[in-house]
Structure 1
């Protein structure tokens, strides 16, 4: 998901021509186009699939205006840097911190409690301008990446810009000092060469890193500053050529300038229409919108009749460009939070209301907040700027902390309720309620774990508890990770293999292992299914790493010769070269059959657990979020079994193999009823997201799983 922060401006956000005094209306027009791209993309992503390039347009404009300002008023001592940063504080912090604070309040009032933690964490990171790194870290976490977006995650781009504003002036200052040391300051051509060479080196290094990381780790590459600096830096290079060119004020011939500007606008629009979420980004693909923006800025075509500047100078675009920063700040929290009031999905009326509210709030924020802190009186009070900026940040941090404290109090109460329920010896608790002979009543009252805790109710393989580190191999390298559960000193060993849908069985297997005196060893991965088939990851390197992990683990399990192998998987990626999951079933089946045959030939007993139902395959993206939003209306978070139970290629693979060493175990009748899969069964929340079983519910499945494992181990071929 792409978002946009407002670009820096020279003095009072009036984008002037660095070569003269005329206002650059084309820059305001570019801002309007950029923010329109982003807003339309967020409201209708299938209509404008590449609207996320709006952020790249803003980055280039930011770099252009910042560098123009720095080159015209080059900092030569620390005081100049403090003054520059003070202007940025006055320009950006009042509006952004106000929106963060009000978003935290709105989250507390209307958002489901399950979203409080991520909103509080990201708000604190956004207030201190490092939320892009937090999002980069979460993006490579399979479970975190699948979570619902927070209403403040759009601040990632503002964090990138603030980090640019922090380091770029220092670079310009150092280049100026280098010019003095090398005695080139008095020679404009040599000074220009030195400055542009220094800026160009940073741009080249960042672009190279962006291409590399986008190819190898695209989820992280999208957010980190190091892959984005070149976009702002390219705008800086354009500014360097404009400001430092000889003779001063020289322009391109009007026809050439107009042609370049039209080409630039075409590049921006084309990328907005043609790009999509499948486009590797940023990488070299970002050169199209970035280069297009640089062309418009460098051309400075003006408003001649043959120039796109006439269109960019239209009053509606100028007005939208003027308020673009506040439009950006307000639109995303409204998109995320309005459904908490109006319903799960945004309809046409909701989207229209969001656009109107965004424009009204943006106009008010521009006039009464942004402009209020850019007066001459504020400009003369540098110390006051820093003190009040820090105080405002502290207010947002305190509000984030209060939300977390409130959340933790609810979680503690939920843990106490869960502990009481687990020690009740109720035969209808959890999966036991689906045993027909017990005639258990429907679930009523407060479920356990409560929704606020259900999202955290994962096995120790995720949590790293009881001395365990993260037990999942993950992108980009898929290094082998091995963890031990159950009775660690036992002689008999059960190996659990697969992706996160194997990891969800750790609570049940740990309990069974302690009771049966089995040592449970896990070889788990995030997303990578244990099938000998190339899976369609974001990069070829990740696909290769996954397949290598499958081969490596298959061999290691064979070499270890455990007493029992348990295999479970969810297929969430298409097979390489196949368009959809339905047509991927056959390649996955063949890949599973190959793995299972390897173990069967070694005479290892194998139990294949049929994949469990997934609410996300229906229309419930997150069961805890749904329950938190719908109170005791559990039926609103349930769905037809036919929609939730996925097609599992392991079923066909086991049948095709037809080996006495390999048997299929299907426990889905202990998770769903004959026709409906409930979100709450026997008073227990079944899922901690839209796919994975809670640890609590999984433990209640252990009495139904244990006989199958015992039988498989006792009948070892």
Structure 2
């Protein structure tokens, strides 16, 4: 058993060949400049993140590994800056050049390699989205980019190969601001100032006015995590924690373990999980326990993973995206193992061939090259933005009809604009009879039906209104919900669906409905099993306050991935439509049966959307040259028009609504 800083070569020479891959842990780094305990923390952090993204069971809070990295960075960067300031050696230019030398080369390789891969595996609309994220990632602003698109209609995260760079952007923003902050304040006041900004950041994250996506992606709401690490540079605090490390260390391990294994990705920031993992990480760093400073044959692989953790983090998420593109659905055990192996191999290559050579660039003679690397990466992002369509057409010049149709799918965020424009141009015959009011209730699926019926029903005969809260709240009255709103929205996948944001909607639900004086009420919702149980009570309350005919629509068939990825290998439209039903997501099986039971028990009309989209289990996904879905579960404008006519003509709808 050997200390990390001493006599490494002799120990490594005695190791068996099976662990030789890890034997250059200290040979590849500066023996006296690295701490084993921090590299072990890096190992835990990156392993947690990777296994979480690889869908390994048991790592529900693995995403908090990112928060561990923030604490580590806060400690190391603050320690370095304070030491340099104390010795009157600190220069902003040198600090920034070191950060560029450390971070940019591996990032450049990752962005370039990912750009090449997506040209071969992604359809045009996903490449366009990637191209924009590439520009923002190249200048460490991807957290702002992904925050601005963090809404229900955005692409699913699994088709964002650079989504993981949001945390790198947050770190880089910390590197830009933190040195200036520390330089402006006297050394003896650093600890107080760090506590103050940390508490302000933490308090800011608790303000209800900020959305969960804002507190997740934006740097000001993450400062408290860096501050927790930065506080460890206070000599008074550090010595006190070391004195009690026999108590601090086990408690810290417990905090980290509980948060990584029991947190949920739907928890807000800050949450008990983020605070626990940050305090636990800080406790382990502060303890600096001798047992964690030992480099043994058991810890060597962990230390190696910690050493190459940056490259592992960069490589793992694009690999998941490529894997999911070809194998939609849950990742199998074999898939997890394959992804782990591929990630480690690529990261090892990046560390040896990119990170290490770059670390030897002289700051004096190589400063222009480093600055040029930054500019070059941004120029590459711009060039890709303006040329990717031409490059894609050159690579995929001879594609089949199905592929060509899939290539033309509009982005979901453009669907509403296209649909509204087309609907406004429809000419309807005159009608002098009484106009009926149709109220559509639900989420984004309610908008699909709202638009579909406006394509197929004359506005001169029917006044259609959409009531969907913030497009995330369940269409339920507060009196029908017999659990807390926190429990109702605990596992909701939309970050905008929270108890706080939906409280007013539920409390005023009946008032909003009756204010519309509806003749018909139509429920169209991506029903979750937890909210489905309160629909019957909501319908009964509606029946007590209105005489409107109530229609409950079943759930739309949802595919296991986006159409561009799920249907990419079909050679003919007929083959695709015949096979589509087998590619639906199995999670939602059984929901239609429960909806039908509720409709029967309350005496309302039930319409099975599956009979509209997939009659006799043969789906209409492509009709003519039009794709009728815009993503895994929403209609395209062509789909709204086509399914709207089918919905209008469905026997159950025709019995209550005349065209």
Alignment TM class, shorter chain as reference: 0.7 to 0.9
- Note the C-alpha offset of 1:337: 1.0
| 2:551 equivalent in structure 1 | 608
User: Structure 1 pair 36/402, CA: closer, same or farther in 2 (3 Å)?
Assistant: same
For residues 411 and 590 of structure 2, the distance between their equivalents in structure 1, rounded to whole angstroms, comes to 23
- Note the C-alpha offset of 1:528: 2.5
Q: Contact 1:623–1:690 (CA<8 Å) still a contact in 2?
A: yes
- Note the C-alpha offset of 1:290: 0.7
User: Structure 1 pair 626/211, CA: closer, same or farther in 2 (3 Å)?
Assistant: same
| 1:5 equivalent in structure 2 | none
- Note the C-alpha offset of 1:161: 0.1
| 1:261 equivalent in structure 2 | 249
For residues 215 and 452 of structure 2, the distance between their equivalents in structure 1, rounded to whole angstroms, comes to 37
The secondary structure found in structure 2 opposite 1:450 is helix
The secondary structure found in structure 2 opposite 1:520 is strand
Q: Does 1:511 align with 2:455?
A: yes
| 1:203 equivalent in structure 2 | 198
- Note the C-alpha offset of 1:559: 3.2
- Note the C-alpha offset of 1:652: 4.8
For residues 339 and 403 of structure 1, the distance between their equivalents in structure 2, rounded to whole angstroms, comes to 22
- Note the C-alpha offset of 1:631: 4.7
Q: Contact 1:216–1:541 (CA<8 Å) still a contact in 2?
A: no
Q: Does 1:695 align with 2:621?
A: no
How do residues 91-490 of structure 1 correspond to structure 2 at under 5 angstroms? 91-113=102-124, 115-139=126-150, 141-144=151-154, 146=156, 148-175=158-185, 179=186, 191-192=187-188, 194-212=189-207, 217-239=211-233, 241-242=234-235, 256-257=244-245, 259-301=247-289, 303=290, 307-310=291-294, 314-340=299-325, 346-375=331-360, 377-403=362-388, 446=401, 450-454=405-409, 456=411, 461=416, 465-466=420-421
**Further displaced range: 309-318 or 155-164:** 309-318
| 1:628 equivalent in structure 2 | 568
- Give the TM-score, by structure 1 length: 0.74
For residues 367 and 324 of structure 1, the distance between their equivalents in structure 2, rounded to whole angstroms, comes to 13
Q: Does 1:537 align with 2:477?
A: no
User: Structure 1 pair 674/506, CA: closer, same or farther in 2 (3 Å)?
Assistant: same
| 1:8 equivalent in structure 2 | none
| 2:466 equivalent in structure 1 | 522
Aligned match for 2:515, one of 559, 569, 582? 559
Aligned match for 1:569, one of 521, 524, 528? 524
- Note the C-alpha offset of 1:292: 1.3
The secondary structure found in structure 2 opposite 1:151 is coil
Q: Contact 2:450–2:465 (CA<8 Å) still a contact in 1?
A: no
- Note the C-alpha offset of 1:160: 0.7
Q: Contact 1:258–1:308 (CA<8 Å) still a contact in 2?
A: no
The higher-RCO structure (CA 8 Å, 6+ apart) is 2
User: Structure 1 pair 649/364, CA: closer, same or farther in 2 (3 Å)?
Assistant: closer
User: Structure 1 pair 120/163, CA: closer, same or farther in 2 (3 Å)?
Assistant: same
- Note the C-alpha offset of 1:170: 1.0
User: Structure 1 pair 218/311, CA: closer, same or farther in 2 (3 Å)?
Assistant: farther
Residues 552-585 of structure 1: per-residue CA shift (max 9 Å, x gap): 46434533435x4341322434xxxxxx44xx54
Aligned match for 1:647, one of 581, 587, 592? 592
| 1:419 equivalent in structure 2 | none
Q: How many residues of Structure 1 are paired with residues of Structure 2 in the alignment?
A: 609
- Note the C-alpha offset of 1:376: 5.4
User: Structure 1 pair 586/294, CA: closer, same or farther in 2 (3 Å)?
Assistant: closer
- Give the TM-score, by structure 2 length: 0.80
For residues 484 and 236 of structure 1, the distance between their equivalents in structure 2, rounded to whole angstroms, comes to 60
Aligned match for 2:63, one of 13, 38, 52? 52
The secondary structure found in structure 2 opposite 1:613 is coil
- Note the C-alpha offset of 1:389: 1.4
Q: Contact 1:119–1:152 (CA<8 Å) still a contact in 2?
A: yes
| 1:592 equivalent in structure 2 | 539
Gaps of 5+ in 2: 1-26
